Amino acid sequence: MLNAYLKNPSLDYPERRKFIEDEITFTDGTSGRRTAEFILKVLEKTGRKER
* This prediction's pTM: 0.50
pLDDT band at 51 (very low <50, low <70, confident <90, very high): low
**pLDDT confidence band for 50 (50 / 70 / 90):** low
Q: Which residues contact 21 (CB under 8 A, 6 or more apart)?
A: 27
Model confidence over 6-49: pLDDT tens digits? 999 999 999 999 998 899 888 898 999 999 999 999 999 988 65
Query: Domain spans of the chain?
Result: 2-46
Greatest extent of the chain over all pairs of C-alpha atoms, in Å = 50
Q: State the DSSP string of 13-35.
A: HHHHHHHHHHH-S--SS-HHHHH
Backbone angles phi, psi at 30, to 5 degrees: -120, 30
- Alpha-carbon torsion, ordered 2, 27, 12, 7, to 10 deg: -40
